[in-house]
Amino acid sequence: MKRGLFLSVVAAATAAMAFATFAVGLYRTALWQVVRACVADFKLTGSPFPCVAVDLSGGEERGNVVIRPPLLQDLILVPTRRIVGIEDPFLQSPEAPNYFDAAWRARSFLKGANGQAPDREAVALVANSAFVRTQDQLHIHVGCLFPSAQSALAAAAPAVPIGEWTRIGAVVPHQVFWATRIRELSDVEPFPLAVEALADKVRDRGQLMVAVAGVRVEGEDQFLILASYVGAPHAWWPVGADDLFDRDCTAGAHVAG
């Protein structure tokens, strides 16, 4: 028992140290160290600390963790397999899990400014390009949209064909997005879809950002898959989660109906 208690304390201390390193952004692999610490702690003690959740139901090669960055309302979902980012070839393979679907389920941990769960249509998922991200481990941001972005997506959604990609209006000023509409996220893999859709525009997959947003069209809950890329025409800067997310989650401050 003493040995087990000692190992538990060591695991917790290691996890806390890794999380502190990630919080101050000391190096670009800090997030991966947090993931490893959470997995180790979970295996030893059953606790996800310092993560919010650890899912190893499909094994470490297909698992993920959910992390809440310090002082922020939003979350990130991170694979427990080493994946650098959107450019990683693994994401194009049939063996890759649907990380966006897992991230969407993780929104249950998201809270609005009033402490309540945000509306479905206020929530989006964003995987940044290699030019925007600060960590070289794939992670999907789970957060609340700025009210202006939420309104823009709601207005655009009915005109976006299901299963076809089209360029949509300015969700973010001075940025360019392409979108397709789907009914079920669990049946669709956004990463390979976005790569295929913009293949004639993007040679380096590291230039891509991919996002998913909940929308409601004709009374039905659906999704928009969004994509953009570094150097897109008329885009003033590489777009990322910071351009879409209200970090205080005020967009989702009212209770979902």
- Between these two residues, 187 and 12, which has the higher pLDDT value? 187
- pLDDT score for 11: 55
Q: How confident is the model at residue 251 (pLDDT cuts 50, 70, 90)?
A: low
Q: Is the pLDDT of residue 203 over 90?
A: no
Angle of the 30-45 helix axis to the 2-23 helix axis, nearest 10: 160
Q: Is the pLDDT of residue 22 over 80?
A: no
For residue 198, which of 213, 181, 178 has the smallest C-alpha distance?
178
Q: How confident is the model at residue 116 (pLDDT cuts 50, 70, 90)?
A: confident
- pLDDT score for 255: 33
**Average pLDDT for 3-19:** 52
Q: Is the pLDDT of residue 111 over 80?
A: yes
- pLDDT score for 117: 86
Q: Distance between CA atoms of 98 and 36, rounded to whole angstroms?
A: 20
Alpha helix segments (H runs only) across the chain: 2-23, 30-45, 99-105, 147-156, 190-197, 241-244
DSSP 221: E
**Average pLDDT for 27-49:** 94
The pTM of this model reads 0.89
